A and B are shown apart, each in its own frame.
Chain A
């Protein structure tokens, strides 16, 4: 029993923290979120690719680093902590599904370039209008080779060239951006991750037939767990900001952190952040080593981290008082990312229902 990162994982965490602190100070996050159309620059993407992050959890045979879900969540938590705008999660998500269900030729054509960072990817989950849960996608092919229909709330689709489309019954198709795919930006709650609508008009679609139910379920669980990890990082950052503000800000001649109404709020943040981190690490480990418990572990992690991310950032805003509600303060980037993450890849309610089923309710 050893519930702690090993030395290599620690090294990855530290490298990520140092790199992201240098490259994504909050002024840069703000600039990217508010001024960059795609939310990132080519140079930034190149740097992330040089670190090997797009292919981190992709098998070596497919051109990735062949690391595990634990390493994936270590990096994801740091990206959350930095609130770094980047198409990395979208690209990773497409890559994980391709790794789970792609045929050899699909892997060669689409997965290898994603893993190398040569191309950007994303996953189109939600129909228009979206169902309550990601498993309600209804899009079905008109014939064997093309898709027609509309997908909404697709992250980073402006930059993505490789798109995995989720359809009825959980079927997956690989499409590439082209004439038959129209991409329109959608103003998003979270400006650090850009959203788009996709109009597919007979788009050539190549169904992913190389996997089975289990491999695809696992990939979805990895995606949800990685997003949960991001939320842990966001919540950690929001908690640190609240604690630091509560130490500095004085009212009635003492730091507000001396008042229990404020300090207990901060203690509650710690409980939730540490709990979410434990749940995420456990899910990541189970996805790598204990397939039997992995679906339940991942559902628990996403449910708990979804709530934690939103609640801790909202609570931090309350500690900050009025200044936390201003556009000028950086906290809203954290709050918005956490809230958007809570709804993506299945919200807390969806994952709790999964838990209920899995524990025999």
Chain B
């Protein structure tokens, strides 16, 4: 057991840290449109320096980083408060799927523009009637010569308005059992059959969209992994658990914690400060501990994955745990603020609202608990 970085890992971290420091573009602009172009430019800078797609194999333009290095990458980017890369879904899911299941032509065609953010990717999985039960999805694709004609509706589609490509799972065989009749397509978003409508969230922002697909056309060559294999391909995407994710998330949490602690030191509270209040101290300490536990579990998961090829049980717990901690932390932050939290524009009011989605986005906590219960503990399935 050795919880320090190896010489190679340390060199990786130092090089990256120095590079970020020298190239950090500063704070992002306020307007959504400008902010996106800012992130796209940042990804281009990152790409030009060879830091995009660290997890991808070198032959496809990546860096072939180990899992620990990927984790370091996530931690360092967050630590430096670097902007998020514009093409997050393409980098974390689209690219790895093409690398794992795509043809040589597909790899040549798609991978480069993902890394450079020239082409943005979005994900068309969830539908209004198919959330947690993804395999029940109804968007259908019908063969027409060398093309497929697609009709249906998708929802929670992040970046659909910016995207060139959509990772679309559609039903190609309505008679097959629900997991069998699905196919994974790459759909060109820039066509008349695809309409994008922003979905306004409880925060007032629109991070996601609805996608209305009316006889959109997809060439047969844009199938990834073969007709009827869509479920397996989609599952690899999801199972391509981004190794660094829990660690990047815990780093974000730590920054948020630091800000809450600073706030607690300043906030007048019962004749002293919130930081001096026993209950606030106890709860903040508990959240600090939980955040550390999240980090340590994630590192144990990484070690298990590197040693035995599969993530240990700790790995699956990260997303659910993170959601719980982030929600509790933002709740506490608003309590520390007190009545000021009733005003809408406060930072913590925003964070509190945004955190509501944490236990839903990317797999609800209920589904994650089902997965833990069934696949790790071996408890019987309810269905």
Contacts and interface: CB of A to CB of B under 8 A. Distances in A.
B303 A2 contact: yes
A335 to B, nearest CB: 20
Contacts of B366: 260, 264
Interface stretch (B195-203, B226-234, B312-320): B312-320
Interface in A233-263: 243, 246-247, 254-255, 257-260, 263
Given A260-B369, A353-B281, A355-B289, A3 B299 contact: yes
Contacts of A260: 366, 369-370, 373, 382
A270 B372 contact: yes
B302 A1 contact: yes
Contacts of B313: 270, 274
B261 A4 contact: no
B281 A1 contact: no
B297 A275 contact: yes
Contacts of A255: 379-380
A275 B293 contact: yes
A9 interface: yes
Interface in A318-356: 349, 352-353, 355-356
Contact of B9 (A1, A3, A304): A1
Interface in B1-48: 1-6, 9
B52 to A, nearest CB: 23
Interface in B291-345: 292-294, 296-297, 299-300, 302-304, 307, 313-314, 317, 320-321
Interface residues of A, number: 46
Interface in A176-224: none
Nearest to A307: B286
Interface string B264-276: 1100000000010
Contacts of A289: 2-4
Contacts of B381: 258
A4 B289 contact: no
Contact of B382 (A1, A259, A270, A352): A259
Contacts of B292: 279, 282, 300
A281 B1 CA distance: 9
Contact of B304 (A4, A6, A9, A271): A4
A263 B68 contact: no
A282 B295 CA distance: 11
B205 interface: no
A299 to B, nearest CB: 9
Contact of A1 (B3, B265, B275, B317): B3
B282 A267 contact: no
Given A260-B382, A282-B3, A353 B285 contact: yes
A303 B289 contact: yes
Interface in A89-103: none
A359 interface: yes
Interface in A2-57: 2-6, 9
Contacts of A278: 293, 296-297, 299-300, 314
Contacts of B382: 258-260, 263
Contact of A355 (B4, B288, B320): B288
A289 B185 CA distance: 51
Given A3-B303, A4-B1, A257 B373 contact: yes
A270 B293 contact: no
Nearest to B321: A271
B139 to A, nearest CB: 28
Nearest to B365: A264
Nearest to B317: A271
B377 interface: yes
Interface string B354-369: 0000000000001001
Nearest to A254: B380
B186 interface: no
A224 to B, nearest CB: 14
A276 B313 CA distance: 14
B289 A257 contact: no
B379 A1 contact: no
Contacts of A243: 377-379
B285 A359 contact: yes
Nearest to B71: A1
A255 B380 CA distance: 7
Interface string B86-103: 000000000000000000
A194 to B, nearest CB: 31
Given A4-B303, A263-B369, A278-B314, A361 B1 contact: no
A226 to B, nearest CB: 16
24 contacts: A1-B6, A1-B302, A9-B1, A247-B378, A247-B379, A247-B380, A257-B373, A260-B373, A263-B369, A264-B369, A271-B317, A275-B294, A275-B297, A278-B296, A282-B292, A285-B2, A300-B292, A352-B281, A353-B285, A355-B289, A359-B285, A361-B264, A361-B275, A361-B281
Interface of A: 1-6, 9, 70, 243, 246-247, 254-255, 257-260, 263-264, 266-268, 270-271, 274-276, 278-279, 281-282, 285-286, 289-290, 300, 303-304, 349, 352-353, 355-356, 359-361
Given A1-B5, A285-B1, A352-B282, 9 more contacts: A4-B307, A263-B373, A264-B369, A266-B379, A268-B369, A270-B313, A275-B296, A275-B321, A285-B3
